[in-house]
Amino acid sequence: MLSLEVRIMKTKWKNASSVELNGENQQNANSFCEVITVLGGRRPRSTPNTDSGMWAHSMTVQDYQDLIDRGWRRSGKYVYKPVMNQTCCPQYTIRCRPLQFQPSKSHKKVLKKMLKFLAKGEIPKGSCKDEPMDSTVDDAVVGDFALINKLDIQCDLKTLSDDLKESLESEGKNSKKEEPHELLQSQDFVGEKLASGEPSHSVKVHTVPKPGKGADLSKPPCRKAKEIRKERKRLKLMQQNPAGEHEGFQAQGQPPSLFPAKAKSNQPKALEDLIFESLPENASHKLEVRVVRSSPPSSQFKATLLESYQVYKRYQMVIHKNSPDTPTESQFTRFLCTSPLEAETPPNGPDCGYGSFHQQYWLDGKIIAVGVIDILPNCVSSVYLYYDPDYSFLSLGVYSALREIAFTRQLHEKTSQLSYYYMGFYIHSCPKMKYKGQYRPSDLLCPETYVWVPIEQCLPSLENSKYCRFNQDPEAVDEDRSTEPDRLQVFHKRAIMPYRVYKKHQKDPSEEAAVLQYASLVGQKCSERMLLFRN
């Protein structure tokens, strides 16, 4: 597997002998060059051989955006890419499309649960604790880097099939009476719809109820008394006005609708309306969400670091059964606070700027949860979530994801290209990791051509094979594949040179294989921007 030391910089001089960034004189070096990205170091000693990884010391948000669009992720300053066709549990990069997102019924329940708790202090009865992470997920990156992505599974999260069934049942209740042959459609119809890439909520499947259960199909559907009164009034108006004109109503030779269109007030509420529903003045609790920059650490971040660490420590002890002496504060800082991303505040970017942040959830003046996020040119990328186990009943994993989706929509209002929410990795072969697929519409990244494919089109293939190429075009290739490796930039003996010059001085036959592997993993664009450090 790849374990390279890479340094990426932009400089005005061909020879960088006086500006090598080795940690001894970085301040002076910055006066000579503008550092774009610096990757380098060793693989963590316990990291499994099913991923390629690099240490990142400094990286622009655009560099990282390009890398995660090729399947890379970061854990602290460690940047890694799973070897998809070799690992037992392939990890597919997943992103949600927040601009089209509509919360499901289970999502709405979580939001309502939070509102009831804030308004009246209600704690749901019979709430269960969150399930621990599956062991196969822990094995993805172990040691200090074992905690990747938001893997906390809430007790009220349902499987994809349950969510689909729920939406189908709700449509069946609200739909008109169908012809008998439509009522007998099988689940094969669902599979056809999913394979076509259409959203799951557009699928209509009706099944015949078992004897003694459900509606009697031989009888007309039940109607509310209010609807019957409206229908009688409508018929009476038509009799009085044969032309069919009364208060804007026109018959146009058609019988009156038995189920008039719903008024605008009955349209589904937007996500923001559900989250920010007004609370009474005498509400039992107050929730505040603060976004603080974690790297470089802002004054607000520094002031709350210890409290944040204590929440994380309790989370690890209760949820993941860690011993009281682990993790240490230095491990916490290295994993969740340090970041290779450079802080950038361009005039056309979001008000908070780009880079790494902690989204802190303050309840009545204390931190109860922290979402670690990266704000990039095209997306908000979720890194991790930890929370106070005493508030597990609030399903904070789901709630924070919905808040992050709403946050992405808010950032999009000023920065139009920032329109996606990256949720880390989707592991279809791990039952506890399928919950990320419930945030629809969403896409999975093809591991071979690096194009985004709607998750509905991917699921049938994943049912048959753990590893899949989602791009159905057999002739499609990676558009950013390394086609000119000689243009790759190398930093060797304090000098910057193209690979075609560097390889003339190398006698080790394995060196070329390692360099070409690196180029294939990061792509042509990044290989030209980055300096591959070779000693």
pLDDT in tens, 236-285: 777 766 554 444 444 333 444 444 454 455 788 999 999 999 999 999 99
Alpha-carbon distance 100 to 83, whole Å?
31
Q: Which residues lie below 8 Å from residue 394, measured CB to CB, with a gap of 6+?
A: 110, 113, 114, 117
Range 180-193 average pLDDT: 36
Bond into 296 cis (ω within 30): yes
- The arithmetic mean of pLDDT across residues 513-533, rounded, is 91
Q: Per DSSP, what are the bridge partners of residue 370?
A: 360, 386
Q: Sorting pLDDT into bands at 50, 70 and 90, what band is 221?
A: low
Residue range 348-373: mean pLDDT, rounded = 98
Residue 320 has pLDDT above 70, yes or no: yes
Q: What is the pLDDT of residue 531?
A: 80
At residue 177, the pLDDT reads 39
Please check the confidence at residue 1 and state whether its pLDDT lies above 90. no
Query: Lowest-pLDDT range, 157-161, 235-239, 291-295?
Result: 157-161
Residue 6 exposure: Cα atoms within 13 Å on the Cβ side: 31
Percent of the chain with pLDDT over 70: 67
- Choose from 101-110, 193-202, 525-534 the range with maximum mean pLDDT: 101-110
Q: Output the six-digit token pair for 137.
A: 């997920």
Residues 6+ apart with CB under 8 A from 227: 258, 259
Task: Give backbone dihedrals phi and psi of 386, rounded to 5 degrees, phi first.
Answer: -135, 155
Q: Say whether 335 sits in a helix, a strand or coil.
A: helix
Indicate whether 154 pLDDT > 50: no
92-96 and 442-445 as β-strands: parallel, antiparallel, unpaired? antiparallel
Question: Using one digit for the tens of pLDDT, what is the confidence trace for 390-412?
Answer: 999 999 999 999 999 999 999 99
- 219's CB contacts (< 8 A; 6+ apart) are none
137, pLDDT greater than 60: no
How close are the terminal C-alpha atoms of the chain, in Å? 19
Q: Is the pLDDT of residue 424 over 60?
A: yes
Quick one: DSSP state of residue 378? S
Check residue 49 and give its pLDDT: 57
Among 35-44, 67-76, 318-327, whose mean pLDDT is lowest? 35-44
State what percent of residues in the chain have pLDDT above 90.
55
> pLDDT: is 162 or 57 the higher one?
57
pLDDT of 17 strictly over 60: no
On the question of pLDDT at 452 being above 70, the answer is yes
Q: To the nearest whole number, what is the mean pLDDT of the chain?
A: 77
Separation between Cα atoms, residue 509 and residue 511, nearest integer Å: 5
The burial of 493, by beta-carbon neighbours within 10 Å (0-12 exposed, 13-18 middle, 19 or more buried), is given as: middle
232: pLDDT strictly greater than 70: yes
Does the pLDDT value for residue 338 go beyond 70? yes
Give yes or no for residue 25 having a pLDDT over 60: no
Dihedral through CA 289, CA 295, CA 301, CA 302, nearest 10?
170
Query: What average pLDDT score do residues 117-135 get?
Result: 67
State pLDDT tens for residues 490-506: 989 889 999 999 999 88
